[in-house]
Amino acid sequence: MAIKITGIGSCIPTKSIKNTDFLNHEFKNPDGSAIPDSNELIIKKFKAITGIEERRYADEELTTSDLAAIAAERAIADAKIDPENLDYIIVAQNFGDVKHNNIQSDAVPSLATRVKFKLKINNPSCVAYDVVFGCPGWLEGVIQAQAFIKAGMAKKCLVIGAETLSRVVDVHDRDSMIFSDGAGASIIEKTDTENDGILAFESATYARNEAYYLTFEESYNKELNQPTRYIKMNGRKIYNFALTHVPTAMKSCLDKSGVPIEKLKKIFIHQANEKMDQAICERFYKLFDKAAPEHIMPMSIAELGNSSVATLPTLFDLVTSKKIKSQHLEKGDVVIFASVGAGMNINALVYQY
């Protein structure tokens, strides 16, 4: 028996926001003081660090659960299954449904329940629930799905990562330029094949000094004088945390799988920050006293930005559908997924395609 991703689908919004669209923003420091640099210089530094040139925002009439349902329909079609046979719908999200120009998050009912409703699934034994696990949420959902299947509790699961971060950013915060919207969905199911699919996983939460590296805080514009909260992050601490812990988690996961590093074909890493992701990849290979091979790590952040839980499944969809230049997978290729985010949470998963 193997537990595999038999279907993949994504919903990448078509609305593109370029870096130049931020030229007229009034960026401020956390204490509310003005940033002395020009917006041109701020954006130039931002591009050099993150690699982001543009990002995607959802259309005004769509919410996170709408994007999730669209991605789910595509994954179901790709897997060629009847959605009535799904045992679980797991939706990884962090902010619920936030409507355009509305400051309130709505997560009742759960987004997973909303997706089940939108898919018109009648089967009451199809259990729907949300996972709030920061950016690693989709991968954690996959880990949970395979656990249900191994325990005999399920045969087919739908795991989705969806977010509309553009609705929860502070326009006066430079970090707002990082975030974007999107959704990716996957069908996880038991197959009759052997020695492929999910081979090993690693998951951890660091919640001592690290717990509040990502938070929900007031705007940097102190003149607003309102209780609205926005996503905030301590970029330097997150960067150092990720470089310290993610490569070791990846190595532990690969060691558990029994797959030698030489057979690893791709690294699918959460699209958080191009510079950080490259450094994680390099440190991972250094743990094996090796240099990272060329084209080992597909990247989508330059065009799509950081869509949190959606980055990994959308990236995997883009690669398997050969929509990223010089990136493709062949049957039998071994890959590793890895992510880091609010919590602080880390996970990794070795998978044979």
Task: For 39-69, write each residue's pLDDT tens digit.
Answer: 999 999 999 999 999 999 999 999 999 999 9
**Which of 196, 222, 250 corresponds to the end of one domain?**
196
pTM, two decimal places: 0.95
Q: What is the pLDDT of residues 267-291, one digit of tens each?
A: 999 999 999 999 999 999 999 999 9
Q: What is the pLDDT of residues 10-33, one digit of tens each?
A: 999 999 999 999 999 999 999 999
Would you place residue 195 in the very low, low, confident or very high pLDDT band (cuts 50, 70, 90)?
Answer: confident
Ranges of H-type helices in the chain: 39-50, 64-79, 111-118, 137-150, 235-257, 274-286, 301-304, 311-320
Q: Is 60 in the same domain as 165? A: yes
Q: Is 95 in the same domain as 235? A: no
Q: Is 157 in the same domain as 269? A: no
Q: Is 221 in the same domain as 186? A: no
Q: Is 192 in the same domain as 256? A: no
Instruction: Indicate whether 226 pLDDT > 80.
Output: no
Provide the CATH number for the domain around residue 343.
Answer: 3.40.47.10
CA distance 52 to 300: 9
Coil, strand or helix: which one is 140? helix
Instruction: Indicate whether 133 pLDDT > 90.
Output: yes
Q: Is 204 in the same domain as 190? A: no
**Which of 196, 228, 257 corresponds to the end of one domain?**
196
Would you place residue 222 in the very low, low, confident or very high pLDDT band (cuts 50, 70, 90)?
Answer: confident
Q: Is 38 in the same domain as 184? A: yes
CA 230 to chain centre: 19
Nearest to 4 by CA among 149, 136, 185: 149
Q: Is 222 in the same domain as 132? A: no
**Which of 174, 196, 218 corresponds to the end of one domain?**
196
- The rounded mean pLDDT for the chain is 95
Instruction: Indicate whether 138 pLDDT > 80.
Output: yes
CA distance 350 to 6: 16
Number of domains in the chain: 2
Coil, strand or helix: which one is 171? coil
Angle, alpha carbons 324-329-334 (nearest 5°): 130
Q: Is 88 in the same domain as 205? A: no
Q: Is 254 in the same domain as 240? A: yes
Q: Is 212 in the same domain as 132? A: no
Would you place residue 326 in the very low, low, confident or very high pLDDT band (cuts 50, 70, 90)?
Answer: confident
Would you place residue 106 in the very low, low, confident or very high pLDDT band (cuts 50, 70, 90)?
Answer: very high
Q: Is 251 in the same domain as 181? A: no
Residue 282 is part of which domain span? 198-352
Instruction: Using DSSP bridges, classify how beta strands 334-341 and 197-205 pair: parallel, antiparallel or unpaired.
Output: unpaired
Residue 184 confidence (pLDDT): 98
